[in-house]
Structure 1
Amino acid sequence: MNHDDRRRLPPMSMLHCFEAAARLGSFSRAAEALRLTQSAVSRHISNLEQWLGAALFDRNGRRVALNDTGRQFMEEIAPALAAIRRATGRLMDPEPEHVLELAVLPGFGMRWLAPRLPRLTQLHPDLVVNIAARVDVFDFAREPFHAAIHVGGAPDWPGAQHDMLFHEHVVPVISPELQAEHGITTAADLLRVPLLVQSSRRDAWTRWFALFGMSGPDAQSLPGVSHFLMLAQAVKAGGGAALIPSFLIAPELEAGELVIPVDRALGEDRSYWLAYPPARKRTKALALFREWLAGECAPV
């Protein structure tokens, strides 16, 4: 593609009017939002349709509705326009150097990061870390985050640099009452109690029993729970046994609310990573956070 071909980049005024009309579902509402006349919005959109050689709205008298072509075009350009707004905003109104916007896996944020944040505040009292729970990988160019905590077998966040935090250590856990009731002391004993799984890791028990040369139950037949902390609560209530990363259940293990009946960890190849865009690496807030995080992870 020739990036200098002006025919492939319609004027921003056309795109702006189209995006507003598509988002608000009305030419008149778009005109109000943009502080233009309705006829001006209609003219810009008509010019855009002529530019593209395709209708973006279906017109029925004075009523208009986004058609399939328009919906597809909107889905593709809306993130780009949002990215332009954010980039322009950063230049016009630079972000404070002491603020970090961080996306975190819910369990990691609750059980590992949150208890350690007071130490960060004590070390850097002016540093503000705003945390939001996110599970899926996203495009940093389209989101307001400076960095994210990610779990995976490799540094695989597209377009990002990675700091490896620590490897995952997955252990079998059960409530002490259920362990005593069934006399659980060996891997084979665990087959006498319900086995629960985290929904995205249904083969965990199959792989764990394989460490002992045993065949586990059908992975698809096991009850699944979407989040590890919910899974831990189900186990704590006596619902069965589960394989859970040890750092997520440290308080329950320390309090004796959960126990490890067979001390054999699952050899996971997953690690926790701090992912961030290369352009953010030298920003003050992220640099301070990375330095602190590395110190916190060193003993793990």
Structure 2
Amino acid sequence: MKNYRKSLPPLDNLLFFQAAAGSKSLTHAADTLFVTQAAVSKRIHRLEEWLGSPLFSRDGRNLELTETGRELASDVEMALEFLDRAIQKIKSPEQPAVQIAANTALSMFWLHQRLRAFSFGDAACDVNIRTTEATSELLSDVHHMAVVYCDGHIPGWESTRLLDVQMVPVATSEVARQAVQSGMFSANPQFSQAPPILEFPSLAPDWINWQIWLKKLDLPGIGNWSKIDCSSYVQSVGKALDGAGVALVNEAMMQQELASGALVRIGQQSLRPKSAYFLCRKQNVSLPKNAIDLYDFLTS
């Protein structure tokens, strides 16, 4: 083990030197350290003697670092910063990152925007997002909280309603005009002139895709329409943004795309399922402060 007591000067001498080097004034350094000017001068003189090299050139009350002083000041600043971090880890240990889970669509189109706003606030902290489509994985014990598409009643979990669901057709403005001109979703649509619908799998009993939406609203069944099959809701939105067809989306989740005009709503038909998105946390389980701050932010 290295004997730092022999190889390093007294730490307080380095602290006094760093204060003087930063302010280039014995008076300001003394004020910062809450000591007299004479005490600062004495410690710097001891450090110079220990090193065998002058650290400052003095012109009256003004201090200028010598070349040796500039090199030492830079290294001392870095060393003291590392030492301060080490001490603070012991005095105020960092809280672990908040673990939150949500499905892919909600994470991409809603949660990331909310977390961005949270990161600008005073309660900002590290947050890890787990994306999965499986409810059992969303409700894993490793997560502090999860956003779940459900009716709000999950045994052993507290649930706060976050986002309602209203499924509406959307497309780019050009595709939307084509849809309107073809009478899409009207009493007498021209199927051959209508743009394709972008279908995606239904992942839950109360999840609404095109097949269910058309049936519930007593519109011509999915077999009547030109259709592009997508692997997921997210992919259908991506294809809609590319102008490939008409997507069926949760209007509340797509506010940014609708507000910017990237997508526009087609017609007035909509369908609301019984389920919504709820922020869930385990009952009778204490959360760390940073997780509580995030929970309060998302539910406010």
Q: Deviations over 1:33-75 (max 9, x none)?
A: xxxxxxxxxxxxxxxxxxxxxxxxxxxxxxxxxxxxxxxxxxx
| Gap change, CA 1:185 and 1:255, over 3 Å in 2 | farther
CA distance in 2 between counterparts of 1:140 and 1:268 reads 20
Contact 2:258–2:264 (CA under 8 A) maintained in structure 1: yes
| Gap change, CA 1:282 and 1:235, over 3 Å in 2 | closer
CA distance in 2 between counterparts of 1:283 and 1:294 reads 17
CA distance in 1 between counterparts of 2:105 and 2:208 reads 20
- 1:230 is aligned to 235
| Gap change, CA 1:132 and 1:282, over 3 Å in 2 | closer
**More displaced, 166-175 or 210-219?**
210-219
Residue 97 (structure 1) shift: 4.3
Higher helix fraction: Structure 1 or Structure 2? 1
Contact 2:163–2:252 (CA under 8 A) maintained in structure 1: no
Contact 1:229–1:248 (CA under 8 A) maintained in structure 2: no
Contact 2:139–2:146 (CA under 8 A) maintained in structure 1: no
In structure 2, give the amino acid aligned to 1:172.
Answer: P
CA distance in 1 between counterparts of 2:253 and 2:240 reads 13
Gap regions ≥5 residues in structure 2:
1-92
In structure 1, give the amino acid aligned to 2:247.
Answer: A
Residue 162 (structure 1) shift: 1.5
Residue 224 (structure 1) shift: 3.3
Residue 134 (structure 1) shift: 2.1
Matches within 5 A, 1:131-210: 131-138=129-136, 143-152=141-150, 154-157=151-154, 159-181=156-178, 183-184=181-182, 186-188=184-186, 189=189, 191=191, 192-200=194-202, 204-210=209-215
TM-score, normalising length: structure 2: 0.56
- 2:268 is aligned to 263
Contact 2:199–2:229 (CA under 8 A) maintained in structure 1: yes
Report the count of equivalent residues: 200
Q: Deviations over 1:79-111 (max 9, x none)?
A: xxxxxxxxxxxxxxxx95463111122222222
TM-score, normalising length: structure 1: 0.56
- Alpha carbon RMSD of aligned pairs, Å? 3.3
| Gap change, CA 1:266 and 1:287, over 3 Å in 2 | same
Residue 283 (structure 1) shift: 3.5
CA distance in 2 between counterparts of 1:206 and 1:110 reads 24
Which one has the largest radius of gyration? 2
CA distance in 1 between counterparts of 2:145 and 2:112 reads 16
| Gap change, CA 1:125 and 1:203, over 3 Å in 2 | closer
| 1:104 is the counterpart of 2:106 | no
Contact 1:205–1:219 (CA under 8 A) maintained in structure 2: no
Identity of aligned residues (%): 20
CA distance in 2 between counterparts of 1:195 and 1:277 reads 39
In structure 1, give the amino acid aligned to 2:131.
Answer: A
Contact 2:196–2:225 (CA under 8 A) maintained in structure 1: no
In structure 1, give the amino acid aligned to 2:165.
Answer: E
Contact 1:111–1:247 (CA under 8 A) maintained in structure 2: no
Residue 113 (structure 1) shift: 1.8
Q: Deviations over 1:166-197 (max 9, x none)?
A: 21121111222223345145513384332222
Among candidates 280, 284, 295, match of residue 285 of structure 2: 280
Contact 1:187–1:212 (CA under 8 A) maintained in structure 2: no
In structure 2, give the amino acid aligned to 1:214.
Answer: L
The DSSP-based 3-state class of the residue aligned with 2:169 is strand
The DSSP-based 3-state class of the residue aligned with 1:200 is coil
